[in-house]
Chain A
Amino acid sequence: MISTLVAGKLTPLLGTGPAWFVTGILFAAIFLAIAAGFAAVAVYAERKIASFIQCRLGPMEVGPHRYEDLPFERLLPAGLGRLVNLLLRVLGFFLSLLLFPFTRRIGMPPGWYGLGTLVGDGVKLLGKEDIIPREADSELFRLAPYIVFTATLAVFAVIPFGEGLVAARFDAGLLYLLAVSSLGVIGIVVGGYASNNKWSLYGAMRSVAQVVSYEVPMGLALLSVCVSVGSFDLVAVARAQRGWIWNWHILSNPFLLLAGVVFLFAALAETNRTPFDIPEAESELVSGYNTEYSGMRFALFFLAEYANMLVAGLVASLFFLGAYSTGLPYLDSLRLLQPFVLLAKAVLVVLLMIVLRWTLPRYRVDRLMTLCWKGLLPLALIALFGVSLVAAQETLLSASRAWKAAWFLITLAFLSSFLLQTRKGLGPMPARTGVPPRNNSPQAAAPTAVVATPAAGERKPR
């Protein structure tokens, strides 16, 4: 494994020899750790961002309230315990700098910004009674969370985290990605059906309709990238975007930009996030497919949701945002940096999803389908067609630097005009146009035969 890393060959790390089983387990453990760790970070980030948007502080209480209360001084020799506390103080200071935009406060406050909430949540979910409704189909009920979680985790296998850092390299990587990521919906259906709850069933049915529909534009958007690259192989997709920033697909030509936008919307729908969170619309379906779940089974659904977001972010970065490339060729040779670059991009995409969730209302089921079939699908087809034209131009005419520069500039023009448009949309609201009719006479427009009683007859009019 180490030698592969050093040599930088494009052989997958998951070898073919007898060690296959061991490395497989190892990778599964690594991905599980990434998914779980990310879920913790994302939950905390989501809470803090939500509270920032909603003018409140969010979790602040659960956590050690004084450094002296921590058990280090009691457990460790006196000097060492004090040293640990001192280190924690320094760490807390830097953490508070990081969180300053949300908290407007420097220096760790009592409660450590509620970081202990994460531990508390974990303990609670693990320790909760595991309820299976009496009338539920207990085997399927137990199976469902594992299907969802496994499907999500399996996607990690083909994602190249860096040059040569891919667990399993397929020639048909995209097909594997689409096939495996869509398996999760089976788990949702099974869970919704087995719960024997009508709200769960509704959630499951909505989820199927939604995920199956949005898979079409998502597949087409990813396909246009593959047309541009000329391969289904995700490693090839990543390698095509090395070098300068204009090699990133989202900037390399306007059709791929369009495909990227389509993919973002489709990914929001695939991960059941607002504004497309109709399978678990809490104001309509109580909690959708996971209504009857509690404890660790619910936690698995929950974990899968966040892991799904990470996968969506990773795929978006991989296909459109330059994969593990920094956009500066000099930095790309730093191989150790690559996984972090890719993860950072994925996290940015996830942050965008979080901000969207706390800003927008929810779509209605039929509008969601309309958006998919009448909005995103034509756009995805246009993108695919355009990318094919560009690819044809590159193979038939020339793939010179001038052409590339031209496409890059066109893309920049599109992107900036789009952003300007958005900025305009976010500007101050114009005054309400339909002002209600101003009418000050007390007897105005009595709709029925009801007459004003003379209760206020003797009072002075103004």
Chain B
Amino acid sequence: MRRLNGNRHFFEGDTLFVNMGPQHPSTHGVLRLLIETDGEVVTKAEPKIGYLHRCFEKSAEGVSWEGVIPYTDRMDYVGPIGNEWPYCLAVERLAGIEVPERGEYCRVIAAELQRIASHLLAFGTYGLDIGAITPFLHAFRDREKVLDILEYVSGARLLYNYIRIGGVVRPFDEKATAMIRDFLSDLATRLPEYHQLLSYNNIFIERTAGVGVITRDQALTYNITGPNLRATGIEWDLRRNDPYGFYDRFEFDVAVGTGEHGVLGDCWNRYIVRLIEIEESMRILEQAITMLPTDGPFWNYKRNLKVPPGETYARAESARGEVGFYVVANGELKPFRVKAKSPCFCALSGFPEYGTGMLLADVVATLGSIDIVLGEVDR
């Protein structure tokens, strides 16, 4: 004890403060958790955010209406389509722009592909958090195919800038739909493998069932949305409850926690909701590629767009929950104000409440299961 004099408080007191992050393998980016531990038990966990703050809202005031879209991509960088869409919805509503039918279908296809890609990533990285390395690479193998499809239509592999104001930048053509068909038939055989490898693995169930429970009340209090909310058994999905785009034309189920293992709202249920959502997205995709018109306009493009004064709030269901944009226009070429509502921020804000009083390993499991993207938390 005397020898380590550089860190005198190291062995004093009953509890130990540990900085988990910003450089830590399982904080999913640059989150810093200030953790107070009593032995292995975490008595306090406080998220410190802001390490990835890039002034999105201020930057958005300085660029054209179209120019904001790439910035929205960089919020949730593993599911950018889910951010582009609500922003475009808001601007279209303010400017009174109609989206052509083909464009709407392309948006649905892109968004559902994106949801699958994002959930695959969540599945893989959650495996890593629990200590299983193999599912991660299997998930990436399949996610790669989604990236190929989206690269084919948008030219980019990560930040697509695909959904534009008034439509999409390029439609899904025959080759793209063929790629999607291939991908769907592939993924249908992979999902049972995933369940075998991770979902129903006994160690995995032991690690996640009943751990990090977010109750219904907590979820509603903290405005938690998306899979984290649905895992508590509440059937709330903007695609169903506040339909935008053409989502009212498709048949799909809202995935909710099954409660098969553990209790509703725990890590296992949050995890399984994402895997069920992949299946539901596959259903939507199958319908969408048959309903997709093969010709016709797809982008109602307005050059030098000026949006008449007004304000609105538009929201959409991204892979992580409700992404919303409150947009104020004052008749200029640029937005006057863009305010983003981030589902990850809401989910993380409740962490001190549901992420404490457990073992250190459980904190990692809980943090992984809410599937946050720090780019969206900090914006």
A residues bordering B, Cβ < 8 Å? 50, 53-56, 134-135, 137, 140, 196, 198-199, 202, 206, 274-275, 277-278, 281-286, 358-367, 428-429, 432-440, 442-448, 450, 452-453, 455-456, 459-462
Contact = CB atoms under 8 A, between A and B. Distances in A.
Contact of B128 (A199, A283, A358): A283
Interface stretch (B155-163, B242-250, B344-352): B242-250
Contacts of B24: 286
B6 A282 contact: no
A137 B259 contact: no
A439 B253 CA distance: 6
Interface in B182-201: 192, 195-198, 200-201
B228 to A, nearest CB: 13
A373 to B, nearest CB: 16
B132 A434 contact: no
Nearest to B239: A442
B207 A283 contact: no
A453 B241 CA distance: 9
Contacts of B25: 282-283, 286
B359 A364 contact: yes
A133 B218 CA distance: 43
Contacts of A459: 243, 246, 248-249
Given A54-B134, A55-B141, 6 more contacts: A362-B132, A429-B195, A444-B235, A446-B236, A459-B248, A462-B250
Given A198-B18, A439-B235, A281 B4 contact: no
Nearest to B194: A429
Contacts of A54: 133-134, 137-138
B206 A456 contact: no
B364 A445 contact: no
Contacts of B10: 196, 198
Contacts of A278: 361
Contact of A434 (B206, B260, B359, B360): B260
Given A283-B25, A436-B276, A456-B248, A360 B132 contact: yes
A363 to B, nearest CB: 6
Contacts of B302: none
A362 B208 CA distance: 11
Contacts of A140: 3
Given A361-B203, A436-B276, A455 B253 contact: no
Contacts of B220: 447-448
B240 A429 contact: no
Q: What are the 8 tightest A-B residue pairs by CB atom distance, in nearest-first order?
A: A362-B131, A135-B6, A434-B258, A434-B260, A54-B137, A361-B132, A283-B26, A361-B130
A86 to B, nearest CB: 38
Interface of B: 3-4, 6-7, 10, 16, 18, 24-26, 40, 93, 127-134, 137-138, 141, 192, 195-198, 200-201, 203-204, 206-207, 216, 220, 234-236, 240-244, 246-251, 253-260, 276, 359-362, 364
Contacts of A461: 248-249
Contacts of A282: 25
Contacts of A360: 131-132, 201, 203
A443 B7 CA distance: 59
A364 B206 contact: yes
Dominant SS at the A interface? loop
15 contacts: A277-B131, A283-B131, A283-B364, A359-B132, A362-B132, A429-B200, A434-B259, A440-B253, A442-B241, A446-B236, A447-B216, A447-B235, A448-B236, A461-B248, A462-B248
Contacts of A447: 216, 220, 234-236
Contacts of B236: 445-448
Nearest to A133: B6
A446 B241 CA distance: 7
A418 B24 CA distance: 41
A274 B204 CA distance: 13
B244 A456 contact: yes
A7 B273 CA distance: 69
Contact of A363 (B198, B203, B258): B203
A107 B260 CA distance: 50
Contacts of B4: 135, 137, 196
Which of A206, A429, A435: most chain B Cβ within 10 A? Answer: A429
B361 A284 contact: yes
Given A364-B361, A432-B195, A455 B258 contact: no
Contacts of B127: 361
Contacts, number: 166
Which of A134, A137, A362: most chain B Cβ within 10 A? Answer: A362
Contacts of B206: 363-364, 367
Contact of A275 (B196, B203, B364): B203
B192 A361 contact: no
A412 B211 CA distance: 40
Contacts of B362: 364
Nearest to B17: A198
Nearest to A283: B26
A440 B255 CA distance: 11
Contacts of A206: 40
A53 B134 contact: yes
A423 B53 CA distance: 51
A135 B7 contact: yes
A136 B141 CA distance: 42
Given A284-B364, A432-B260, A446-B236, A362 B134 contact: no
A282 B361 CA distance: 11
Which of A137, A432, A442, A448: most chain B Cβ within 10 A? Answer: A432
Contact of A284 (B241, B242, B246, B360): B360
A374 B373 CA distance: 40
A358 B134 contact: yes
Contacts of B242: 450, 452-453, 455
Contact of B234 (A199, A361, A445): A445
A284 B251 contact: no
A359 B276 CA distance: 23
Contacts of B253: 436, 438-440
A443 B248 CA distance: 11
A363 B130 CA distance: 8
Nearest to A278: B361
Contact of A364 (B7, B18, B207, B256): B207
A359 B134 contact: yes
A398 to B, nearest CB: 43
Which of B40, B257, B362, B364: most chain A Cβ within 10 A? Answer: B40
A52 B54 CA distance: 40
B287 to A, nearest CB: 9
A437 B230 CA distance: 12
A438 B246 CA distance: 20
Contacts of A275: 131, 203
Nearest to B200: A429
A443 B242 CA distance: 9
Nearest to A197: B7
B282 to A, nearest CB: 15
Nearest to B236: A447
A454 to B, nearest CB: 10
A456 B248 CA distance: 8
